[in-house]
Structure 1
Amino acid sequence: MWYTYLTIDLASIAVPFIFSFHPKLRFYRHWGALWPALFIPGLFFICWDCFFTAKGVWGFNPKYVSGVYLVNLPLEEILFFLCIPYACLFSYHSIFTLWPKLHLPHILTKLISWGLIAAGLCAAYVYSDKSYTFLTLLLMSLFVFGITILFKNQWVDRFYICYGLMLLPFLVVNGLLTGSWIQEPVVWYNAAEIAGPRLMTIPLEDIAYGLLLIGVEVALYEYFLSGKRPSLTYSALSEGR
């Protein structure tokens, strides 16, 4: 069973990587924008991961990992921050390459954003003694405020659409990692550091964590893409430019 986490990582990236070369998608042409969008925030999240692992906020079941560690993280956890974001950005690219005019109404995007900000800040305040809950929801709220209210990015509605569609595979991957359908969790959480409510076996904070992780990477991907090829950004495509 040592290969369980590695299998989850590789299965998550296999199909997106293969289809990156599909003639209708050609995602490989955007790798110049993709890699920095993955690696820059990935470094931050890996450092966060190292710190929380050292503090016992979460940890890893030795039965499901290979035993190869970098600092205090198993190799599979490091690969997680490559495989999952790659699959998500591939999905983002694919959805809006195939359906470039797909969007949410502006007012709905605003309502979603303000709802996320309000819910996140309230929960961060209520659970200020829970380190994972507090930090995740605070940073998620600040991120949503930044992209929606402060900078008014044109791609926010597309990110919400994409993340909403990705919640189903999110449930599968995170469900497996937290113990759904297998005997023990691959990743365990310290009950004293999370709010408590779970979706199946997944702490609800993970949904906000995923939104923050993928959202930052979409933001950087759009930034680097627009800097190189303004006509290929999805916000520009939607406006007919």
Structure 2
Amino acid sequence: MDWQYLYLLLNSLAISVPLAFSFYPKANFSQKWQYLMPAIAIPGVLFILWDVYFTKWGIWGFNETYLTGLHIANLPLEEWLFFICIPYACVFTYFSFKYLFKEDYLGKYAPAITWVLIAISFLIAASNTHRAYTSVTFFALCAFLLVHIFILRSQYLGRFYFSFIFILVPFFLINGVLTGSYIPDQVVWYNNAENLGIRLGTIPVEDTFYGMLLLLMNVTLFEELENKLRDHPL
């Protein structure tokens, strides 16, 4: 079997349904694209830089068997598309849940959840400073959650946590394939000396929190830009 387009196919599958339903008249996500595009682009730049250096340092890498062979700045084209397709699909899910569920089910628990995540992230990062993927991921998540607590004082974290629970289902399916589930080899390989060595199936546990950080940054910018520009249009 020719696996050359597998990663490209996974990106396409991730964005296809959300993109198709983005024009649903009663909850038209396409009308939010002016907020969404910067919300994808700005974190995307940060995560691409992170990706470039971690690939260069051998903390993770890519199996050419599953790639088209096109590269930009030493990263596969598919990896660049990942930071567009996955955030689009996940912010669409968050937006859809806001439309479907008027009640913020986790709103009153959000501060407690956030503080627990901060404490866990800090302890894991501080005790694993010799593991680059672990320490950078958990320190970054801890810092960004503190921004929410002390600076942004966000009122939407409960909705984010609620939607993230459901986002984990396609996350485990797609990331499972990328890390070697259901296929002969890995699309993305990891240097286990730089992570905890704990796998959820084939997925490094850090990936879940890396994903949370990325998507929380996307949702944060989406919410903040929408609130700002709605109140003070250009």
The one of 79, 82, 87 equivalent to 1:80 is 82
Task: Please identify, of 159-168 and 142-151, the stretch whose mean Cα deviation from structure 2 is larger.
Answer: 142-151
Change (3 A) 1:38 1:105: closer
**Unaligned ranges ≥5, structure 2:** none
Identity of aligned residues (%): 43
Q: Mapping of 1:63-102 within 5 angstroms? A: 63-102=65-104
User: Could you tell me whether the CA contact under 8 Å between 1:19 and 1:25 is conserved in 2?
Assistant: no
Task: Please identify, of 36-45 and 141-150, the stretch whose mean Cα deviation from structure 2 is larger.
Answer: 141-150
Change (3 A) 1:52 1:172: same
Q: Equivalent residue of 1:59, what SS? A: strand
Residue 114 of structure 1 is matched in structure 2 by 115
Residue 227 of structure 2 is matched in structure 1 by 226
Note the C-alpha offset of 1:105.
4.2
Q: Equivalent residue of 2:25, what SS? A: coil
1:21 maps to 2:23: yes
Q: Mapping of 1:12-161 within 5 angstroms? A: 12-106=14-108, 108-161=109-162
Note the C-alpha offset of 1:153.
0.6
User: Could you tell me whether the CA contact under 8 Å between 1:148 and 1:156 is conserved in 2?
Assistant: no
Alpha-carbon distance between aligned partners in 1 of 2:106 and 2:82, rounded to the nearest angstrom:
30
Residue 170 of structure 2 is matched in structure 1 by 169
Alpha-carbon distance between aligned partners in 1 of 2:125 and 2:229, rounded to the nearest angstrom:
38
User: Aligned pair count?
Assistant: 229
Alpha-carbon distance between aligned partners in 2 of 1:26 and 1:203, rounded to the nearest angstrom:
35
Q: Deviations over 1:49-108 (max 9, x none)?
A: 0010000000000000000000110000000000000000000111101222233142x2
Residue 205 of structure 1 is matched in structure 2 by 206
Q: Deviations over 1:11-39 (max 9, x none)?
A: 00000000001112200000000001000
Q: Equivalent residue of 2:81, what SS? A: helix
Q: Deviations over 1:158-198 (max 9, x none)?
A: 11111111111110011010001111010000111111101
User: Could you tell me whether the CA contact under 8 Å between 2:107 and 2:157 is conserved in 1?
Assistant: no
Residue 8 of structure 1 is matched in structure 2 by 10
User: Could you tell me whether the CA contact under 8 Å between 1:20 and 1:26 is conserved in 2?
Assistant: yes
Task: Please identify, of 16-25 and 141-150, the stretch whose mean Cα deviation from structure 2 is larger.
Answer: 141-150
Change (3 A) 1:81 1:19: same
Alpha-carbon distance between aligned partners in 2 of 1:214 and 1:118, rounded to the nearest angstrom:
20
Residue type at the aligned position of 1:75 = L
User: Could you tell me whether the CA contact under 8 Å between 2:107 and 2:159 is conserved in 1?
Assistant: no
Note the C-alpha offset of 1:227.
1.6
Alpha-carbon distance between aligned partners in 2 of 1:207 and 1:199, rounded to the nearest angstrom:
9
Alpha-carbon distance between aligned partners in 1 of 2:104 and 2:154, rounded to the nearest angstrom:
16
Residue type at the aligned position of 2:188 = V
Taking structure 1 as the reference length, the TM-score comes to: 0.93
Alpha-carbon distance between aligned partners in 2 of 1:162 and 1:115, rounded to the nearest angstrom:
18
Residue 236 of structure 1 is matched in structure 2 by none
Taking structure 2 as the reference length, the TM-score comes to: 0.95
Q: Deviations over 1:115-136 (max 9, x none)?
A: 1011101100111100010000
Provide runs of 4+ in structure 1 moved above 3 Å: none
